[in-house]
Amino acid sequence: MSLSAELNSRTRFLRACRGESVDRVPVWIMRQAGRYLSAYRAIREKHAMMTVLNTPELAVQVTLLPVDTFDLDAAIIFADLLPPLIGMGLSVEFVPGKGPVIHNPLRTNKAIDRLSVPPAEETMAPTLEAIRLVRPELNSREMPLIGFAGAPFTLASYAIEGGATRDFAHTKTLMYHEPAAWNRLMLKLVGVVVDLLKSQVGAGADCVQVFDSWAGALGRYDYQRFVQPYSRMVFEQMGNAVPVIHFSTGTSAYLDLIAAAGGHVIGVDWRMDLDAAQDIVQRPVMGNLDPGTLLGPWRELRPHVDDVLTHMHGRGGHVFNLGHGILPNTPVDNVRRMVDYVHSGDWAHGRS
């Protein structure tokens, strides 16, 4: 192609999200501002998670860390999936070493009906302010900004379980026993998610990602009846103003249903070859290196990166990313080598 090295990161990323030709495969990393960065750990030693989320200047600082450390093609606002639930009335705590805990998990119709749906401009003001503050910083770097929110199902299951789960027993119990309450909960979440995403776009996000991280807990039958209609509302209401990425994990068996729910780009985990996924979803895809491979030595990491890239070679519509968030113990050198290797194009020139 004739675009070689003419694009800046913002153009490159947004073109790839639309399936247009690019000079090189754009790269970003889910949870790229995270514990694997010593500068992030230093900030978190001084400030609790909630403090960083609620202090726009700190959120801006953390958002810029990875883009100033690696040759990435996108920044993602430093935020978390759960704070929107706080605004709705849930008591969320980030317990160090354990992750988020909800002290009043949703288990009854009454609790669902008590949930409020306040505007994001009120409850998510620090994140929106952080977007406004980081925007000029990214403009000078010719870098796009990604906003995000949890998908209704993933937020609902966090709210109902109240913490980590393997079997989603509380979520499924409520979903099966109280379908009307489930519907009311999901409709409230659709409203909160769409408002948050649109507010992020209004504040300066170039693109938004919808994380349905736990959708893979279900089978096709339940995904179609209990999740897809609500996810579809989110994507329909977001329209085409900015590219919307629809990300999930463990959904290889129903990527067709994920794609039918919507999203301009489908984020795919590492369990399926990315070209096979693209054949199913018929649009640009994002992914899909196993985050665990970054724990290996370069001699092992490189063929895994090659595997992702060669599967997608010549196809276009590819945003390189991991298949889920980067792991806390990831060596920084591996991240740098991976990002530079994807950009180098060396993998495309045949190794003997």
Residues that bind a second copy (CB under 8 A): 164, 166-169, 172-173, 175-177, 179, 216-222, 250-254, 270-273, 276, 288, 290-293, 295-297, 300-301, 303-304, 307, 323, 327, 329
Q: Within a 13 Å sphere around the CA of 295, how many CA atoms are in the beta-carbon half?
A: 7
DSSP annotation of 204 reads T
> For this structure, is 41 an active site residue?
no
Quick check: is 31 catalytic?
yes
Minimum distance, C-beta of residue 296 to a second copy, in the bound complex (Å): 3
Active site residue 223: no
Please, which residue, 11 or 248, has the CB nearer to a second copy? 248
**Least gap, CB of 108 to a second copy (angstroms):** 16
Rounded to a whole number of angstroms, the minimum distance from the CB of residue 188 to a second copy is 22
Instruction: For residue 287, give the amino acid letter.
Output: G
Which residue, 229 or 250, has its beta carbon nearer to a second copy? Answer: 250
As given in the structure block, the two tokens for residue 228 are 């897809």
Minimum separation from the CB atom of position 17 to a second copy (A): 24
Let me know if 333 is a catalytic residue: no
Does the bond joining 288 to the residue before it have cis omega, within 30 degrees of 0? Answer: yes
Virtual CA dihedral for 322, 328, 332, 338, nearest 10 degrees?
Answer: -10
Closer to a second copy at the Cβ: 159 or 268?
Answer: 268
| R_g of the chain computed on alpha carbons | 19
Active site residue 44: yes
| Residues 268/289, Cβ–Cβ less than 8 Å | no
What is the biggest distance separating any 2 CA atoms in the chain, rounded to whole angstroms? Answer: 65
Concatenated DSSP letters of 54-105: H-HHHHHHHHHHHHHHS--S-EE-S--SSHHHHHHT--EEEETTTEEEESS-
Residue pair 26/319 in contact (Cβ under 8 Å)? The answer is: yes
Q: Which is nearer to a second copy, 304 or 315 (CB)?
A: 304
In the complex, the smallest distance separating the C-beta of residue 344 from a second copy, rounded to whole angstroms, is 21
| Pick 221 or 239: Cβ nearer a second copy | 221
- The least distance separating a second copy from the CB of residue 91, rounded to whole angstroms, comes to 24
Which is catalytic among the residues 35, 184, 315, 337?
A: 35
**13 vs 214 by CB, closer to a second copy:** 214
Of the residues 80, 222, 273, 275, only one is catalytic, namely: 80
Relative orientation angle of helices 125-140 and 56-69, to the nearest 10 degrees: 40
From residue 27, alpha-carbon distances to 76, 121, 230 in Å are 12, 30, 30
Least Cα distance to 29 among 62, 74, 69 occurs for 74
Catalytic residue among 12, 36, 73, 158: 158
Q: C-beta of 258: minimal distance to a second copy in Å?
A: 12
* Residue 198, amino acid: K
SS3 annotation, 270-336: CCCCHHHHHHHHCCCEEEEECHHHHHCCHHHHHHHHHHHHHHHCCCCCEEEEECCCCCCCCCHHHHH
In the complex with a second copy, the residue whose CB is nearer, 235 or 270, is 270
Just list the catalytic residues. 31, 35, 44, 80, 158
